């Protein structure tokens, strides 16, 4: 680890802290329908949208109506995306003349992936998707799925803040205001900033460049495995030209980070120079990933009238973030002990140190930082290869997703995930002091805890069941490119990432197969919607409750003790659930590495 | 043909979700 590396990590976090309050205040104003600077431009547009879509903006919804509206919106959006993928060959803005996404199961997986804010990609964007699919299908979902997450968090916060009311807002109004006031303005400015750094934005056909020297590359099959020639040797292809893919990248790149979506325009995601060209773009994209999650803690404080509670939640997230990034950075800077003697330490010939799997332009600190940030949230964009990290370095992103991505988290989903943990934390605290648990003046009762447990249980259930099936049968294990515990880590990471709607891949697993397409799609849908429903049920139930003034027996949720308890609950639930699986994957791999065996 | 299958699966999943909304609501009534 270097001072320069830590300086960059602290600079990043300082920038996140800087945007937390102003953005959080702005979000509060937007969802409280208070006047903002953008109103003269956006309010007429908003009214027009409601008129065209027959939405009564003054209609308030109970939690069931809010939830069913969200489900219908998501279902129709998912079907439209599926249709776009399958019909793109007949649609305009397709200069590369791509045909339909050729496997219906892959199209289904991708439609589920972008509808759920996961952006798991079993395809390479630049060789599969036309511009119209990228823009009207994938980028559209990047906005909408992010907005859905944010409005659900806002609905939950309203549930806490409201007293003896049966409503938690209007889904359609929240969705429109989130897009018009929060996501679109920031993304329009952000996309221009990225263009200034070299991110491409055009609708041109791909360019072709002739290579100065032809190169030999190993031939691989569609499953990613090497193809052998008649003599049993690796078959090689001679490449004489390079196709330079381009397209409307910047407009998709900024919402990919700001909305914690993560799906790259290019297969190489944010390690591609057209997506992430400079150290400045790297830093701005990192800040974009954390900014909404961090700001929502301020919004929580403002809307519930307890700013100190918002900061207490923020502190829990910050501590978990620093713990993760410190471990990842330490493990990756230290390198692989089995490779002692190779150039893993910074030297004159290799100043970066352990470059295995890293983003070589930005170094170890920025690779470890990105891996931590992208999995603390449900982003899933990558600038380095998690599969190539050391076992402990790779454990950090995996563990982050297993903790339900509540460290600033996916936009909105991190906040409502954290609020579920808070419900459990105050319930446990209430049991310890022998009083009915209370949270910001609301009694936490049996129904709230039952719903919280449904949220907490569905996540490991879907991960462990699908991982176990994949590890037990040939249709799952035949996709593994690395044997032993590393192979299990690849499977576990795949389903964890999809259930957590993260979307980053550990790599090393061929997932464009019927099994992984179908199982993955179901994992993403279950991981998103079966968690959201009980979350909204809690919100609706809290909104109906009357306010109970704090008493001597009330556990304060504004103190360092609360922060520590919250972290403890998150870690204990995560550890109890996933430790057996982790011990057979990355932990065993680390121990075997120390004993001299690598995979 | 497979397209029809995945469209039906999508609709069935969201219909199941709406059923789950009802389930979560009814748990409250039977407490």
Task: Please provide residue A211's backbone torsions phi and psi, each rounded to the nearest 5 degrees.
Answer: -75, 140
Identify whether the C-beta of residue A234 lies closer than 8 Å to the C-beta of residue A120.
no
Instruction: Give the nearest partner residue to A79 out of B5, B10, B21, using CB atoms.
Output: B10
A422 is written with which tokens? 């808070």
Residue A292 CB-density burial (10 A; 0-12 exposed, 13-18 middle, 19+ buried): buried
From the CB of residue A518, how many other CB atoms can be counted at a distance below 10 Å?
Answer: 17
DSSP string, A100-143: S-S-HHHHHHHHHHHHTT----SS-HHHH--HHIIIIIIIHHHH
CB-based contact A530 B20, cutoff 8 Å:
yes
Query: CA A59 from chain center: how many Å?
Result: 32
Identify the band that residue A597 occupies on the pLDDT scale cut at 50, 70 and 90.
Answer: confident
Q: Calculate mean pLDDT across residues A562-576.
A: 90
A586 is written with which tokens? 């990355």
Q: What is the pLDDT of residues A236-286, one digit of tens each?
A: 999 999 999 999 999 999 999 999 999 999 999 999 999 999 999 999 999
Which residues 6+ apart lie within 8 Å of A232 measured at CB?
none
Q: Nearest-CA distance from A542 to chain B in Å? A: 12
State how far the Cα of A413 lies from the Cα of A292, in Å rounded to an integer. Answer: 11
Q: What is the pLDDT of residues A319-335, one digit of tens each?
A: 999 999 999 999 999 88
Is the C-alpha dihedral spanning A199, A202, A207, A209 positive or negative? negative
Largest CA distance in chain B: 45
A510 is written with which tokens? 């061929």
Nearest to A493 by CA among A508, A481, A483: A508
Average pLDDT value for chain A: 92
Identify the band that residue A483 occupies on the pLDDT scale cut at 50, 70 and 90.
Answer: confident
Q: What is the pLDDT of residues A428-472, one digit of tens each?
A: 888 888 878 888 989 998 999 999 999 999 999 999 999 999 999
Q: Calculate mean pLDDT across residues A174-187.
A: 97
pLDDT of residue A596: 79
pLDDT of residue A515: 95
Is the C-alpha dihedral spanning A197, A203, A206, A209 positive or negative? negative
Bin A421: left if φ > 0, else alpha if -120 < ψ < 50, else beta: alpha
Q: What is the pLDDT of residues A527-555, one digit of tens each?
A: 999 999 999 999 999 999 999 888 887 88
Q: What is the pLDDT of residues B7-22, one digit of tens each?
A: 999 999 999 999 999 9
pLDDT of residue A413: 84
CB-based contact B14 A75, cutoff 8 Å:
yes
Is the CB of B4 inside 8 Å of chain A's CB atoms?
no
Whether pLDDT at A227 is above 90 = no
- Residue ranges of the domains in chain A? 3-204+247-296, 207-244
- Asked if the ipTM is above 0.90, the reply is yes
Report the percentage of chain A scoring pLDDT > 70.
99
CB-based contact A533 B9, cutoff 8 Å:
no
Instruction: Give the nearest partner residue to A537 out of B11, B25, B31, using CB atoms.
Output: B25
Whole-structure pTM value? 0.93
CB-based contact A68 B7, cutoff 8 Å:
no
Q: Calculate mean pLDDT across residues A44-62.
A: 96
Task: Please provide residue A231's backbone torsions phi and psi, each rounded to the nearest 5 degrees.
Answer: -85, 0
Which residues 6+ apart lie within 8 Å of A487 measured at CB?
A477, A480, A481, A508, A509, A599
Whether pLDDT at A368 is above 80 = yes
Residue of A nearest to B7 (CA): A79
| A243: enclosing H helix or E strand | strand A236-244
Identify whether the C-beta of residue A117 lies closer than 8 Å to the C-beta of residue A148.
yes
Identify the band that residue A340 occupies on the pLDDT scale cut at 50, 70 and 90.
Answer: low
Identify whether the C-beta of residue A461 lies closer than 8 Å to the C-beta of residue A468.
no
pLDDT of residue A341: 64
Task: Please provide residue A273's backbone torsions phi and psi, each rounded to the nearest 5 degrees.
Answer: -65, -20
| A242: enclosing H helix or E strand | strand A236-244
Which residues of A are less than 8 Å from B25 in CB distance? 64, 537
A257 is written with which tokens? 């980070």
Beta strands in A293-362 (DSSP E): none
Nearest to A502 by CA among A585, A417, A575: A417
DSSP string, A157-218: HHHHH--S-S--B-HHHHHHHIIIIIIHHHHHHHHHHHHHHT--B--PPPEEEEEEEEEEEE
Which residues 6+ apart lie within 8 Å of A122 measured at CB?
A106, A109, A110, A511, A512, A516, A517, A520
pLDDT of residue A351: 72
State how far the Cα of A231 lies from the Cα of A8, in Å rounded to an integer. Answer: 51
Residue of B nearest to A66 (CA): B21
A494 is written with which tokens? 């795949």
Half-sphere exposure of residue A100, counting CA atoms within 13 Å on the CB side?
15
Which residues of A are less than 8 Å from B4 in CB distance? none
From the CB of residue A352, how many other CB atoms can be counted at a distance below 10 Å?
Answer: 17
Q: Nearest-CA distance from A8 to chain B in Å? A: 44
CB-based contact B21 A107, cutoff 8 Å:
no
| A403: enclosing H helix or E strand | none
Is the C-alpha dihedral spanning A347, A350, A351, A356 positive or negative? negative
Q: Calculate mean pLDDT across residues A53-68.
A: 95
Identify whether the C-beta of residue A528 lies closer than 8 Å to the C-beta of residue A118.
yes
Alpha-carbon radius of gyration of chain B? 14
Identify the band that residue A167 occupies on the pLDDT scale cut at 50, 70 and 90.
Answer: very high
Identify the band that residue A151 occupies on the pLDDT scale cut at 50, 70 and 90.
Answer: very high
Identify the band that residue A297 occupies on the pLDDT scale cut at 50, 70 and 90.
Answer: very high
Identify whether the C-beta of residue A144 lies closer than 8 Å to the C-beta of residue A260.
no
Identify whether the C-beta of residue A363 lies closer than 8 Å to the C-beta of residue A8.
no
Q: What is the pLDDT of residues A11-43, one digit of tens each?
A: 999 999 999 999 999 999 999 999 999 999 999
pLDDT of residue A455: 92
State how far the Cα of A477 lies from the Cα of A469, in Å rounded to an integer. Answer: 9
Residue of B nearest to A68 (CA): B18
Beta strands in chain B (DSSP E): none
- Residue ranges of the domains in chain B? 1-31
Q: Calculate mean pLDDT across residues A93-101.
A: 93
Which residues 6+ apart lie within 8 Å of A417 measured at CB?
A404, A405, A406, A409, A410, A455, A531
Q: Calculate mean pLDDT across residues A386-411.
A: 87
Identify the band that residue A67 occupies on the pLDDT scale cut at 50, 70 and 90.
Answer: very high
More confident residue, A512 or B31: A512
Identify the band that residue A170 occupies on the pLDDT scale cut at 50, 70 and 90.
Answer: very high
């Amino acid at each position: 680890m270097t001072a320069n590396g830590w300086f960059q990590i602290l600079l990043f976090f300082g920038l996140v802290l800087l945007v937390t309050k102003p953005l959080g205040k702005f979000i509060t104003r937007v969802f409280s329908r208070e006047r903002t600077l953008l109103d003269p431009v956006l309010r007429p547009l908003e009214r027009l949208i409601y008129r065209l879509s027959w939405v009564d903006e003054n209609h308030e919804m109970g939690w069931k109506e809010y939830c069913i509206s969200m489900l219908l919106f998501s279902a129709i959006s998912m079907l439209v995306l599926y249709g776009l993928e399958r019909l793109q060959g007949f649609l305009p803005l397709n200069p590369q003349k791509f045909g339909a996404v050729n496997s219906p199961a892959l199209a289904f997986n991708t439609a589920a992936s972008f509808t759920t804010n996961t952006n798991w990609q079993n395809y390479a964007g630049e060789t599969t998707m036309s511009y119209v699919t990228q823009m009207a299908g994938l980028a559209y979902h990047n906005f909408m799925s992010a907005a859905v997450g944010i409005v659900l968090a806002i609905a939950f916060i309203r549930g806490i803040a409201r007293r003896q009311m049966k409503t938690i807002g209007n889904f359609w109004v929240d969705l429109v205001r989130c897009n018009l006031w929060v996501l679109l303005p920031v993304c329009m400015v952000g996309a221009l900033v990225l263009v200034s750094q070299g991110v491409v934005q055009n609708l041109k056909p791909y360019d072709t460049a002739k290579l100065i020297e032809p190169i030999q590359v190993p031939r691989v099959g569609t499953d990613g495995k090497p193809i052998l020639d008649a003599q049993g040797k690796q078959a090689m292809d001679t490449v004489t030209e390079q196709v330079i893919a381009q397209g409307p990248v910047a407009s998709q790149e900024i919402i990919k980070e700001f909305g914690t979506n993560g799906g790259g325009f290019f297969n190489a995601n944010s390690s591609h120079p057209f997506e992430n060209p400079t150290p400045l773009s790297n830093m701005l994209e990192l800040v974009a990933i954390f900014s909404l999650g961090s700001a929502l803690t301020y919004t929580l404080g403002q809307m519930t009238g307890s700013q100190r509670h918002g900061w207490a939640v923020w502190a829990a997230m910050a501590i978990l973030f620093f713990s993760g990034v410190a471990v990842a950075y330490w493990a990756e800077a230290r390198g692989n002990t089995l490779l002692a003697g190779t150039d893993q330490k910074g030297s004159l010939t290799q100043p970066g140190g352990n470059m295995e799997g890293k983003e070589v332009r930005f170094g170890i600190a920025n690779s470890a930082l990105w891996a931590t940030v992208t999995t603390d949230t449900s982003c899933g964009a990558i600038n380095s290869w998690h599969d190539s990290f050391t076992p402990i370095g790779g454990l950090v992103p995996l563990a982050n997703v297993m903790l339900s991505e509540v460290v600033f988290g996916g936009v909105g989903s991190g906040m409502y995930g954290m609020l579920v943990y808070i419900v459990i934390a105050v319930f446990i605290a209430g049991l310890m002091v022998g009083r009915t648990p209370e949270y910001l003046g609301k009694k936490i009762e049996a129904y709230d805890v039952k719903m919280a447990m449904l949220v907490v249980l569905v996540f490991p259930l879907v991960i462990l069941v699908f991982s176990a099936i994949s590890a037990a049968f040939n249709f799952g294990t035949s996709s593994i490119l690395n044997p032993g515990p590393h192979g299990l880590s690849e499977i576990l990471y795949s389903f964890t990432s999809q259930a957590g709607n993260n979307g980053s891949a550990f790599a090393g697993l061929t997932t464009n197969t019927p099994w992984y397409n179908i199982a993955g799609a179901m994992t993403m849908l279950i991981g998103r919607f079966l968690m959201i429903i009980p979350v909204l049920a809690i919100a609706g139930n809290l909104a109906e409750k009357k306010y109970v003034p704090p008493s001597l027996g009330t556990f304060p949720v504004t103190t360092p003790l609360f922060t520590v308890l919250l972290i403890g609950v998150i870690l204990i639930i995560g550890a109890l659930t996933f430790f057996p699986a982790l011990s057979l994957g990355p932990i065993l791999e680390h121990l075997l590495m120390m004993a001299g065996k690598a995979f | 043909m497979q397209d029809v299958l995945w469209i039906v699966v999508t609709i069935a999943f969201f219909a199941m979700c709406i059923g789950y909304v009802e389930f979560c609501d009814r748990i409250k009534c039977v407490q």
